[in-house]
Structure 1
Amino acid sequence: MSQNLSLKHFPTSIFMIVILLVGALFLFSNSMFTYPSFVHAWTQSDRLALAMNFQENGFDFFHPATFNLLTKGGITQVDFPIHDYLVAVISSIFNSDLIFTFRLYNLIYSLIGLFFLYKIALQLGISGFRAIFATSFIFTLPFFVYYQNGFLPSAPSFANFLIGFYYLLCYKGNNRTRNLIRSALFLTLAALARSPFLIYLVAVFLFLLWEQLKNKKLAILQLIPFLLGIILFVAYFQYNAYLAKTYGSMFLVQFLAIESFTDFISIVKVALDRWSDQLMSPFHAVVLLFSLLMLLKGVYRNNSKFKDHYGLVSYFAISFFGVLLFFIVMGKQFVDHDYYYMDTFLPILVLLVLFCAQFVKIEQKWFTPISTVLILFFFYFFSYAKEIQEKRYTPVFDDKVDYAYRVYKSSINDLEKWGITKQDTLTILEANSTNIPFTLFKNKGYTCLNSSEDSVLKYLNKPSNYVLLIDSFFRMDAYRNFPGIINQLELVNSNQSISLYKKEIVSDGSSDFFKHLLFEASFDFETKIPTNNHFSGFENIQEKEGAKSLDITPESEYILTFHDTLRDLDFSKSIHILHVADYLQSDTSKIQIVCQYGDYYQAHFTENTITEKNKWVTKQYQWEIPISKLKESHEIKIYYWNQQKKSIAIDNFNLIIYQ
């Protein structure tokens, strides 16, 4: 950008910087020290583990590792881990908290990238205020906001893409080789750290090659920086393959392709249902839709301006084609991992927004009302992004990952008291993630993510010193899936939330696991059904999809009521009730699952906890009756209350009451 252009836009540039800084303070001030135990906690904690292990292994860049010994020595294949490495180095130099350093690093990188987006807009001849609005539009996309101060390399790779694209435009403007090299450097860094960005590096190479062929003027030197970037990517890809073959991988190394058109429709439908309100706000959607309609109208009336910018249009077309190919190859990832949108479709959206900002014209008579609406929308962008940010940092009801994180964190000192050293290896049963417990305990070990008999026995055969299992996960998952687990472990110590075991074959381990079990019941309505001793209202058992289940119909109000007077209570301990069952609803059910004991009354609402329709889902509910409520003669009741006259099916019912 010329010096005159820089001076011309100096006031708006200062305004842009203020918006980015104030916006960052508004959006991120509450989460800068927060552990990644929320949306995509698994993947983010893996990145945290990489940085921690760089600090532990003497900053050996070419042997990245996590704490999980499912790979040899914890060493793992992973995309070029430059950002995890730099975070580890910075944290060590300044002796700063690693979580805060990681979040601050990604946030600063993201803000720099966004400022370069603003500069891209200016470079394209877009006015200062339009450039500010376009940048703010991208800045406040709710899903992007969440990752700007997160742990994934997608955020700095997106920033590197923006920086590289800016220097590409500079090169097209002044033909200076240094800008070409800078563009190739940053686009290569983007691709190395997050491989889907290879699309945009290759797209530049193909665009420049096509441009030369079209002009019948081959300029090899112009292509070399990007060709070298592609070669460097391939070289590291081969090294990564060596790491995977030699040590293993904790990260995805396989395609998850869309296999048919029906599959494509299903993936798009599920992804939109899950992410549509978080990919962009309604305000973003309205602005984008209106701008695209105006853009198409302008192209229809006069496409000469587009012809003048055929280079940008060509790069967009090549990139979009590459993204579509990637979506076909990895489409199933887009259902569960919204950061894939940042790696692929977000740069496409940036180009669309730039097109709109550059080419959409507003008639003078509409300028004031439209400008007023856009200013209002500008503030709505931030408020909606803040709302989604808070939602993402609020654990969903009975979220097992966040609960596990809190138990692991509160048990750090207990492990030290129990004699566990950093050299001890641990097997974590029902871990819910591959590295969260280890990043807290600083131990290496193995994580068993489900408690089927085969999985448990497989991981108990791993060479670890001790086994850890969260107590409530044992009662509701491990014991239910593999009752024989109680004969595989011997209790070493417990803090009533998590227990430490030795791997030991015992003839009767029930006393180690059920210290004070008050009641237990499980039935599938087929081979096992409730008894009249403790249950009533279970008469409407129907067959669905080849298996029997209990149907709650609009005609039923109180269903499957458990009632009992608990005996042998310990009045110094609260009563815990854990309930797990499978549910199937065709429409939103509004059933209350109630626990009543004397004047204690608490209900869980299926409307809030079961969002899936036409598929069986497993849900867990729990209650705690405080010590102050305990009475010898009180009867406990747990029942389904269909006050709203809705329908739902129940199967694989489990209930455990203990102290």
Structure 2
Amino acid sequence: MKNCSSSSLFLYLFIGIFVVVFFFMGYHRIWDAGPQSIHAWRQSDSYAQALTFYHEDLSLWEPHLLFTGENGDRQAISEFPILYWLTAKIWKITGPHPAVLRLIDLLLLWLGLFFLARLIYEMTNDWYWSSFTALLTFSSPVLGYYSFNFIPNVPAFGLSLIGLYFLFRFHRYDENTDLAIATALYILASLIKVTALFSLLALSGSLILVYSRPKTANRRKILKIVASLFIVLAVYLVWNRYAHSYNQQHLNGLFNQSIIPIWELIPSQISEIANKAYHHILPQYFYPPAYYIIILLFVFLAFNFKKIDKVWINATLLLFAGIGLFKILFFQGLDEHDYFLTNTLMFIPFVSICMFDFFRKKKLNLNSPYIKIPASFMLIFLLNYSMIVTRSHYNPHQKAVTRNIHLSKAKQDYWAYVYWTLELQDFQYRGINDYMREIGITYNDLVISLGDYSPNRTLCWMETKGFTDYYSSHLPLPERIEKLKAMGAKYLVYNENDKIDLTNVDLGPQIGQYNKIQIYRIAR
């Protein structure tokens, strides 16, 4: 009864922390913001699918984009679109609002962090260190920015954390229900983003090794774990083949579905990407000095292999190897795609678990205020760093950023430049969808969006199907417009800030102006 009361109290505490962190990170400021800032391209690909599910009542198995390809097709697929389909169903009640998908992603992450804290509590019987580890993991700026966003890596990470908890419970209590729940969660997580399987492969591999040893042999458990792995991987492979076939038949090439390995590059390219990863990706991934400490802790634990629970040290070593292999296979994406690394953050709780076990066996008093007070200050510093980076994505001129610990001059200049581009581009489109409905442009009217070299970014702001410069920018503008007009384009939008040369281009009559956005009816 006492344990149940303690668990309930911790749940309420975690909800309270969630609310505080929500406002601390500035999420309330972007509640109604569509895809924007860094990687708005990938964000809008996700958001466009939610919009098409909402407007067109599409089957879960046939996702569409707003972008229309040169063959008139809009069908393309990457991850299993369950979150976008669910968002569309909720929108049927609330109306389309960016906050719905943002909240789904955030809640899945925080649910995962809650179960991570529960897992560590079952090992340490200490709510402080349980909460500390969950918040330490969240202090990554990658999670700070992408958790209240549209990119699928974070919700997949959250689901894998929940799956990890139930896989751990299966190891400890040998309950088939726990393994079944873990299997289902990992299936869903992998369908959303396959890198969510890091923890499953690492812990399952470790359990198989441990259960194969003479002193801890358990053939029955090995068979169950192997069966679970087989089911998860089989479902993922079936989905992967379906997605590949779907794209081959429709809009192929929009989503990468293969490896982009290091061995395809020449030394100078490898050096360039490594330099970008170190100077740009690492500070986005984690506060560099703190990350170096985590790596040093891992090295220390590896040298003390025999003094740590075999299940967790084996799993941590396997995870480290798996992350290394992943970086080799997808090295070309590490020049700017920080969200690629989201699921590698599983390394932090794995190292933490091993550290707690080592200290427990050494009978170090982790309840000492001489340990908890410095740890608390360090955690606050890391969360504050993440907050600064996260808020800088949207507005580096907020007081919470400018009156805080300063980032490097290069980073301040970079975020100022990002905000300047937002003012020229994304901010010009805010609210334009309502204006376009007022002047008679509907969701189904095909619109040409000049100057947008992504498939869906500006189309998401306009909430309209249409064309961008993603495919046909190589054609002269008059020829491009004629080609798209023949495909059914009715309207054209142009951002004055793009400074496109429109000399000798017949755009048709201008029917509207929204901020710097000019809207034309294409002449027939």
TM-score, normalisation: structure 2 = 0.83
Match of 2:244 in 1: 241
Question: Bigger shift: 234-243 or 358-367?
Answer: 358-367
Q: 1:73 to 1:364 in 2, by over 3 A?
A: closer
Q: Does 1:317 align with 2:317?
A: yes
> Aligned ranges for residues 156-305 of structure 1 at < 5 Å?
156-215=155-214, 218-219=219-220, 220-249=223-252, 250-259=254-263, 262=267, 263-281=269-287, 285-286=289-290, 289-290=292-293, 293=296, 303-305=305-307
More strand by share: 1
Match of 2:469 in 1: 448
Aligned partners of 1:12 and 1:129 also within 8 Å: no
Deviation of the 1:20 alpha carbon = 2.9
Match of 1:98 in 2: 97
Residue by residue over 1:440-494, the C-alpha shift from the partner in whole angstroms, topping out at 9 and shown as x without a partner, is 3332111104996537445652312333222231x3xx32xxxxx5334334205
Specify the SS of the correspondent of 1:427: strand
Residue by residue over 1:496-553, the C-alpha shift from the partner in whole angstroms, topping out at 9 and shown as x without a partner, is 8333456679xxxxxxxxxxxxxxxxxxxxxxxxxxxxxxxxxxxxxxxxxxxxxxxx
Q: 1:217 to 1:465 in 2, by over 3 A?
A: same
Q: Does 1:121 align with 2:140?
A: no
Q: Does 1:499 align with 2:518?
A: yes
Residue by residue over 1:39-61, the C-alpha shift from the partner in whole angstroms, topping out at 9 and shown as x without a partner, is 21111122111111111221410
Residue by residue over 1:327-353, the C-alpha shift from the partner in whole angstroms, topping out at 9 and shown as x without a partner, is 21211212211111103x211232123
Question: Bigger shift: 215-224 or 80-89?
Answer: 215-224
Match of 1:469 in 2: 494
Residue by residue over 1:418-453, the C-alpha shift from the partner in whole angstroms, topping out at 9 and shown as x without a partner, is 553433212222114321322233321111049965
Aligned partners of 2:444 and 2:464 also within 8 Å: yes
Aligned partners of 2:204 and 2:225 also within 8 Å: no
Aligned partners of 1:401 and 1:432 also within 8 Å: no
Question: Residue type matched to 1:24 in 2?
Answer: F
Distance in 2 (alpha carbons) for counterparts of 1:231 and 1:91:
33
Q: 1:25 to 1:144 in 2, by over 3 A?
A: same
Deviation of the 1:162 alpha carbon = 0.5
More helix by share: 2
Aligned partners of 1:400 and 1:432 also within 8 Å: no
Q: 1:362 to 1:139 in 2, by over 3 A?
A: farther
Distance in 2 (alpha carbons) for counterparts of 1:450 and 1:69:
10
* Higher RCO (Cα < 8 Å, 6 or more apart): 2
> Aligned ranges for residues 461-610 of structure 1 at < 5 Å?
461-462=483-484, 463=487, 464-473=489-498, 475=499, 478-479=500-501, 486-493=503-510, 495=513, 497-501=516-520
Distance in 2 (alpha carbons) for counterparts of 1:386 and 1:365:
28
Specify the SS of the correspondent of 2:391: helix
Q: Any unmatched runs of 5+ in structure 2?
A: 396-414
Match of 1:79 in 2: 79
Larger Rg: 1
Distance in 2 (alpha carbons) for counterparts of 1:323 and 1:293:
16
Match of 2:31 in 1: 32
Distance in 2 (alpha carbons) for counterparts of 1:365 and 1:241:
50
Aligned residues: 487
What is the aligned counterpart of 1:403 among 421, 424, 427? Answer: 424
Distance in 2 (alpha carbons) for counterparts of 1:112 and 1:123:
17
Specify the SS of the correspondent of 1:77: coil
Question: Residue type matched to 1:388 in 2?
Answer: V
Q: 1:408 to 1:172 in 2, by over 3 A?
A: same
Residue by residue over 1:563-605, the C-alpha shift from the partner in whole angstroms, topping out at 9 and shown as x without a partner, is xxxxxxxxxxxxxxxxxxxxxxxxxxxxxxxxxxxxxxxxxxx
Q: Does 1:436 align with 2:457?
A: yes
Residue by residue over 1:157-178, the C-alpha shift from the partner in whole angstroms, topping out at 9 and shown as x without a partner, is 1111101110111001110101
Aligned partners of 2:210 and 2:310 also within 8 Å: no
Specify the SS of the correspondent of 1:311: helix
Question: Residue type matched to 1:143 in 2?
Answer: V
Q: 1:256 to 1:128 in 2, by over 3 A?
A: same
Aligned partners of 1:77 and 1:251 also within 8 Å: yes
> Aligned ranges for residues 418-429 of structure 1 at < 5 Å?
419-429=440-450
Deviation of the 1:392 alpha carbon = 0.9
Q: 1:189 to 1:383 in 2, by over 3 A?
A: same
Q: 1:467 to 1:61 in 2, by over 3 A?
A: same
Residue by residue over 1:294-328, the C-alpha shift from the partner in whole angstroms, topping out at 9 and shown as x without a partner, is 6655765x65432xx22222222333323222221
Question: Residue type matched to 2:226 in 1?
Answer: L
Question: Residue type matched to 2:244 in 1?
Answer: A
Question: Residue type matched to 1:229 in 2?
Answer: V
Question: Bigger shift: 216-225 or 327-336?
Answer: 216-225
Match of 2:404 in 1: none
Q: Does 1:381 align with 2:378?
A: no
Q: 1:315 to 1:460 in 2, by over 3 A?
A: farther
Aligned partners of 2:115 and 2:162 also within 8 Å: yes
Aligned partners of 2:366 and 2:372 also within 8 Å: no
Q: 1:205 to 1:118 in 2, by over 3 A?
A: closer
Question: Residue type matched to 1:21 in 2?
Answer: V
Question: Residue type matched to 1:19 in 2?
Answer: I
Aligned partners of 2:493 and 2:517 also within 8 Å: yes
Question: Residue type matched to 1:245 in 2?
Answer: Q
Question: Residue type matched to 1:182 in 2?
Answer: I
Question: Bigger shift: 440-449 or 400-409?
Answer: 400-409
Q: 1:358 to 1:385 in 2, by over 3 A?
A: same
Aligned partners of 2:294 and 2:348 also within 8 Å: no
Question: Residue type matched to 1:113 in 2?
Answer: G
Aligned partners of 2:18 and 2:110 also within 8 Å: yes
Q: Does 1:56 align with 2:55?
A: yes
Question: Residue type matched to 2:281 in 1?
Answer: W
Question: Residue type matched to 2:378 in 1?
Answer: F
TM-score, normalisation: structure 1 = 0.67
Distance in 1 (alpha carbons) for counterparts of 2:365 and 2:199:
37
Aligned partners of 1:430 and 1:449 also within 8 Å: no
Distance in 2 (alpha carbons) for counterparts of 1:140 and 1:419:
46
Q: 1:377 to 1:261 in 2, by over 3 A?
A: farther
Distance in 2 (alpha carbons) for counterparts of 1:49 and 1:331:
28
Q: Any unmatched runs of 5+ in structure 1?
A: 480-484, 506-659
Match of 1:545 in 2: none
Question: Residue type matched to 2:506 in 1?
Answer: L
Question: Bigger shift: 347-356 or 236-245?
Answer: 347-356
Aligned partners of 2:472 and 2:480 also within 8 Å: no
Q: 1:461 to 1:151 in 2, by over 3 A?
A: same
Distance in 2 (alpha carbons) for counterparts of 1:29 and 1:258:
40
Specify the SS of the correspondent of 1:487: coil
Aligned partners of 1:466 and 1:500 also within 8 Å: yes
Q: CA RMSD in A?
A: 3.1
Match of 1:88 in 2: 88
